[in-house]
Amino acid sequence: MAGFLMGLTSILMFISSSDSSQLVPESLIISSFQESLQMVSDAFNKTAQRLDLHPSPSQMYRLSRRPSAETQQVSRSAEIFQTTLTLLKEKTSRRQRRSVQISEVLSVKAVERIANLSGCPRTFQSTTCATDEEYRSITGVCNNRKNPFWGSANTGLARWLPAEYEDGENQPKGWNAGRQYNGFQLPPVREVSKRIIRSSSSALQEDRDYSQMLVDWGQYIDHDISFTPQSSSQTSFTPGFDCLRTCVSADPCFPIQISRDDPLSRNSSCLPFFRSSPSCTGLQRQQLNSITSFIDASTVYGSSEEQQQILRNSAGLLAVSDEFWDTGRPFLPSVPQRPSACLQQPGSLALLEARVECFAAGDSRVNEVLPLAVLHTLWMREHNRLAELLVQINTHWGKQRVYQETRKIIGALHQIFTMRDYIPKVIGQDSVNEFLGPYEGYNESVDPSVSNVFATAAFRFGHVTISPYLRRLNQSFQEDERYETLTLQQSFFSPWRLVREGGLDPVLRALLSAPAVLQDQEHLMTEELTERLLVLNVPQNLDLAALNLQRGRDHGLPGYNAWRVFCGLDRVESRSDLLKLVGSDDLVEEIMDLYGHPDNVDVWLGGLLERPLSGARTGPLFSCLIGKQMKKLRDGDRTKA
């Protein structure tokens, strides 16, 4: 109700102002906003009612993985904002009997007013930053004092190239059936996955140079710098469509089309897919980064004041479990929702023991796989260890200073491990020299915000290095007879395995000593991810490769060739050009048969298939995009840890 009253107040202010450059009648803007508010509110209410009436584990998981309350409000406002623009575009097109772009009929001032009506944060207003602030803010605001919102939580992902939407503003590629690009229709993403990503059942190759920790640190640090939430509504804003069941594209539903004989079909011709939440910026749809872009250990501390307070105790330490211990060492605390959605130990013995709820950490994805939970737990323990040492050395410090000084050290360690130890192994030392170079100090003109193409494509290269198995080793670093090797699926959302089956050490030993999977073009992604991906808010198995491709289209990412040009690389004009980069005649034939034209190739797929550079685990394109992003994260961060 408060938000609605705020909207009415804004309407009165809006009516009292005039804008001579405005081509759409004010009455049409107001009515479109009111209609949008009703549509979005109804969809969110229906989703909430479903959660209340049917509190299944999958629905509880959806609640437990929600971003912060602030992010939820920003996301809802952005949905109202974007839906208002869509309605105005549709209505104006009908009135003028032609397809119009919203930029033709709305001024910048009018768009700002619509954003205000929708409840969007007023990030375009000036914010005063303290000049004597000693510690980085938990939200990232004021890291850059001239541009306070660069890199902060709940702001849009950066665009290094303009988005490409089918209508120029909002609709993803593939939204309109039959649409052609360079004379060809884009292939369904599931078909790409089946024919290219899972192209062979050959045995996995082991990486002779690096352990599994290379893979899991990549996932962990990715969760420190980007998190684009999906729409919180499972119901379309257009009445009558349920995103879990419909095969019609209707915001926020963007289903993945499949054949009815597909093993994932369940007698349907599509898989459910929710569009990412939009941000409240601009006429062209942008996506939200709900956490800070900075490498600041937000995985440990959160990216909002609310999260930070939940994760702290009263002595400058981080909260720990009050129920379970790992041979005298603490586990992470549990989420407040009871019962939570995490899976439980099967069998009759489990009925006699207390439930092991989902862990709570600075990032809500902590429970997705066991290695993530292990790394989160280690950093919680390290914070508390260092904090206790600092108290002994500095007895005059208060709890706030103990907490903040420890947080600085933990953040610095995250930066060092990532920039010094991880990135050179991924993109190669030559690319580090080319794209990062030596550090020359903070540059306030550098925007450190995570880019859309990095978060949605380039840094997802690691998905093809995920092993289908999780080993657990004993003190001699041999297979532990007590705890069997797990399939990847068995490690999803199962913190009970850490509590009941030996704690962190058996998993950690394997991360440090078991070889990583080496990407090769004969086996790009394990079937555990393409055929048996567990996503608990969807009641069926999904395909991670198809989700990645669909997400890139949802975000309007330009194609493979556009990004090669951006990086100063040669365009791919022919099959022979592609063959030089990929090195496999069979793969090139599949790519050209599916896409028809090199410009049509999705950037995630194209970057993934390039042969790795010497001393790297990525090809030229992804090495460029990752290198450029890391330089921005380093040079644009005023508060070094």
In the structure encoding, which two tokens stand for residue 11, read together?
């309407």
The average pLDDT across 523-530 equals 80
247 Cβ partners below 8 Å, 6+ apart? Answer: 255, 257, 268, 269, 270
Q: How far is it, in rounded angstroms, from Cα 111 to Cα 89?
A: 13
Cβ proximity of 546 and 190 under 8 Å: yes
For residue 381, is pLDDT > 80? yes
Q: Which amino acid does the sequence have at 481?
A: E
DSSP symbols for 567-598: TTPPP--SHHHHHHHH--HHHHHHHHHHHSSG
For residue 608, is pLDDT > 70? yes
For 34-75, write each residue's pLDDT tens digit: 999 999 999 999 888 776 544 444 444 444 456 778 898 999
The DSSP symbol for 533 reads: B
Cβ proximity of 301 and 310 under 8 Å: no
**What's the confidence (pLDDT) of residue 22?**
56
Q: Which residue would you say has higher pLDDT here, 364 or 64?
A: 364
For residue 379, how many other CB atoms are within 10 A of its CB?
Answer: 21
For residue 560, is pLDDT > 80? yes
The DSSP symbol for 432 reads: I
For residue 17, is pLDDT > 50? no
Distances (CA, A) of 231 to 35, 158, 278, 425, 594: 19, 19, 8, 35, 30
For residue 607, is pLDDT > 70? yes
**What's the confidence (pLDDT) of residue 52?**
56
Distances (CA, A) of 41 to 84, 314, 535: 13, 39, 25
Catalytic residue among 54, 223, 463, 523: 223
User: Could you tell me how many residues make up the chain?
Assistant: 641
The average pLDDT across 507-528 equals 87
The average pLDDT across 385-406 equals 97
Give the strand pairing for 155-156 and 288-289. antiparallel
For 269-305, write each residue's pLDDT tens digit: 999 999 999 998 888 999 999 999 999 999 999 999 9
For 22-32, write each residue's pLDDT tens digit: 578 889 999 99
For residue 257, is pLDDT > 90? yes
Q: Which residue would you say has higher pLDDT here, 571 or 126?
A: 571
In the structure encoding, which two tokens stand for residue 638, read together?
């005023």
Residue 339, preceding peptide bond in cis (omega within 30° of 0): yes
For 425-470, write each residue's pLDDT tens digit: 999 999 999 999 999 999 999 999 999 999 999 999 999 888 889 9
**What's the confidence (pLDDT) of residue 16?**
37
**What's the confidence (pLDDT) of residue 350?**
67
Q: How far is it, in rounded angstroms, from Cα 159 to Cα 584?
A: 32
Q: Which amino acid does the sequence have at 66?
A: R
**What's the confidence (pLDDT) of residue 442?**
96
Report helix angle 108-118 to 69-96, nearest 10: 130
> Residues 576, 582, 588, 592: what is their CA dihedral angle, to the nearest 10 degrees?
-80
For residue 375, is pLDDT > 60? yes
DSSP symbols for 486-531: EETGGGTT-THHHHHTT-SHHHHHHHHHSEEEEPBTTB-S-HHHHT
Largest CA distance in the chain: 77
Split at pLDDT 50, 70, 90, the class of 347 is confident
Least confident of 119-123, 341-345, 582-586: 119-123
For residue 11, is pLDDT > 60? no
Q: Where do the structural domains in the chain lie, given as residue ranges?
A: 2-122
| Dihedral sign of CA atoms 380, 382, 388, 393 in order | negative
Split at pLDDT 50, 70, 90, the class of 534 is low
pTM of the model: 0.93
For 135-150, write each residue's pLDDT tens digit: 999 999 999 999 999 9
For residue 556, is pLDDT > 90? yes
Quick one: what percent of the chain has pLDDT higher than 70?
Answer: 90
For residue 504, is pLDDT > 60? yes
Least confident of 178-192, 306-320, 338-352, 487-501: 338-352
Is 223 assigned a catalytic role? yes
Mean pLDDT of the chain: 89
Distances (CA, A) of 17 to 27, 70, 272, 401: 13, 30, 43, 48
Q: How far is it, in rounded angstroms, from Cα 199 to Cα 519?
A: 13
